[in-house]
Amino acid sequence: MRCVTLPGGDVVPSMGQGTWKMGERAERRSDEIAALRAGVDLGMTLIDTAEMYGDGAAETLICEALGNLRDQLFLVSKAYPQNASRSRLAGACEA
């Protein structure tokens, strides 16, 4: 897998996995977890999500599927526009 070296020295895969629509339907949960795990097994350790994906359901799914691998992953997330201010962004990331 091709990678990109960030200015701080971290090496990040150039391709990752998106999670839009994940975690929204219980009947797909096991398949979505399997897909995330398979992607990581193939080297796709960059995971893209957002607090607005399923109103946090995608983030919960990622934790369930990959929480034990947290130190090996690069998580990219986005905040709701109303949480994009300096005063609210940290809280949105911690939630």
The two tokens of residue 16 are 């990752």
The whole-number pLDDT of residue 11 equals 93
- pLDDT above 80 (res 38): yes
Contact 49, 79 (CB under 8 A): no
Catalytic residue IDs: 53
- pLDDT above 90 (res 54): yes
Structural domain for 34, as ranges: 3-94
- pLDDT above 70 (res 57): yes
- pLDDT above 80 (res 94): no
pTM of the model: 0.86
- pLDDT above 90 (res 74): yes
Domain count, the chain: 1
Query: pLDDT confidence of 91, banded at 50, 70, 90?
Result: confident
Q: If residue 36 lies in a helix (H) or strand (E), which one and from where to where? A: helix 29-41
Query: pLDDT confidence of 92, banded at 50, 70, 90?
Result: confident
- Name the 3-class secondary structure at 18: strand
